Structure 1
Amino acid sequence: MQNDLDTKFELLRMNAEHFAYDLGKSVIIKPKASIWIIFMPIFFVFYAQKLQKYKKDIQDFARGYQFTKTLALGAAREEKITGEPAEIFFADPPKEVGTPEIWEVVRAVQREEVDILRRHYLKLMDKDGETHADLVRAAYTTAGAYRSFLNRLHKAEEAVNEAVLTHLQTTPEARATTKAIEKRAEEMRLQEMDTIFS
């Protein structure tokens, strides 16, 4: 039983990681190689540095994007092991960003997102399957049922983003970037849904 749970946990963790990484690759602009690299190889050094930064930015983005997903997956796993709902603990926010009151607002909507994801992961962990797609098909049975979950998740993520945009990252650039990320994440999830249920 524990091995089965560990296998499913790892499968779901890897799927979430791949999704976050692929999302990062699709929203972070990759530096383009210059024709000058051919004529002046020293420019390759600058390009290589930019490429390294790009890769690090994707990894940082993926880690940040997965924050609530990781909490939810861990909580679902703990609940499956103990039979009791897991308590969700958020790390202390950086003191230089926001106030405790602002972070309480953000954490409240993050808790809602984590709860939606926790229930989703529990549902998947209750099913049998060799792949993420197998688990989703077994848990939701129809594209419409899965789409309903995706809509709830999208609304929860929007609520978290809106809290952050309202209280912490208030620039127009932050809002535009966040909306682009939300749009791309939704597109990717719908593509995945179509693949799973085709």
Structure 2
Amino acid sequence: MSSFEENYELILSRERRNAYVLAKELISKPEASVWMVLLPILFVHHAFSIQRYKKNIHGFADNFIKTRKKALDLAFGSLTTGENVVINLETCFPSLEMSAEKEKKVCEKQLEEIRILVRHYKELLGAKGKTYEVLVKNAYGTSGKFKEFLNQLEMAEKEVRRYVTKVFQTTDAAREVSKKIDKAEERIREKEAKEIF
């Protein structure tokens, strides 16, 4: 396995872990009740609720990581072939129907997020290290440079979510979820930066 492939696996593993941490912060786990001992039928209901919770966690994490995986694949492909990455609607969203204006606009906003992630992943893929933390340290050198990347990414992600809540999910509940995602991601990133540097 080449160092690019090893680094790819380390990065993807960390992105998955972060997606699951975020999902667990956003989706409430069903609580057990003392009544389950007295009324076994409640335990059956709880078991189904736990299964649904796990399915929701996995579904959220899988969807959340799609943009990151796309950017990681583009960065990996560029480094392994030596070709420049083309980041446009056709390469990033090949199944997008170009006549759907709202969908096209949100994808255009996601392109900035993908550009930032591709630059980041190329740095990490090219770094030396046996752990994700070491890759980040060797790629960025200082916490200030790493935080600069995190701030750029945060701004791009917020812009995408702002557009989505303005055009597609316009309810107060959707805006609240968007705010929860922003705050949870901020906590996760702060913790990660402190652990690494």
With the shorter chain as reference, the TM-score category is over 0.9
Hey, what does 2:128 align to over in structure 1?
A: 128
List structure 1 runs of 4+ shifted beyond 4 angstroms.
none
Structure 1 contact 117–153 (Cα < 8 Å) conserved: yes
TM-score (norm 1): 0.93
Hey, what does 2:155 align to over in structure 1?
A: 155
Structure 2 contact 4–126 (Cα < 8 Å) conserved: no
What is the aligned-residue identity percentage?
A: 38
Supply the AA of the counterpart residue of 1:180: K
Residue 79 of structure 1: CA displacement? 0.3
Hey, what does 1:193 align to over in structure 2?
A: 193
DSSP-derived class of the 2:170 partner = coil
Unaligned runs of 5+ in 2: none
Aligned residues: 192
Residue 89 of structure 1: CA displacement? 2.5
DSSP-derived class of the 1:174 partner = helix
Where do residues 15-94 of structure 1 align in structure 2 (5 Å cutoff)? 15-87=14-86, 88-90=91-93, 92=95
Supply the AA of the counterpart residue of 2:138: A
Structure 1 contact 75–85 (Cα < 8 Å) conserved: no
Supply the AA of the counterpart residue of 1:35: V
DSSP-derived class of the 2:31 partner = coil
Supply the AA of the counterpart residue of 1:74: D
CA distance, structure 1, for counterparts of residue 34 and residue 131 of structure 2: 43
CA shift digits 1:111-140 (9 cap, x unpaired): 110110000000111110011100000011
Supply the AA of the counterpart residue of 1:167: V
Hey, what does 1:181 align to over in structure 2?
A: 181
Structure 1 contact 25–58 (Cα < 8 Å) conserved: yes
Hey, what does 1:146 align to over in structure 2?
A: 146
CA distance, structure 2, for counterparts of residue 155 and residue 141 of structure 1: 22
Residue 4 of structure 1: CA displacement? 1.2
Residue 83 of structure 1: CA displacement? 1.2
DSSP-derived class of the 2:92 partner = coil
Structure 1 contact 76–118 (Cα < 8 Å) conserved: yes
Residue 85 of structure 1: CA displacement? 2.4
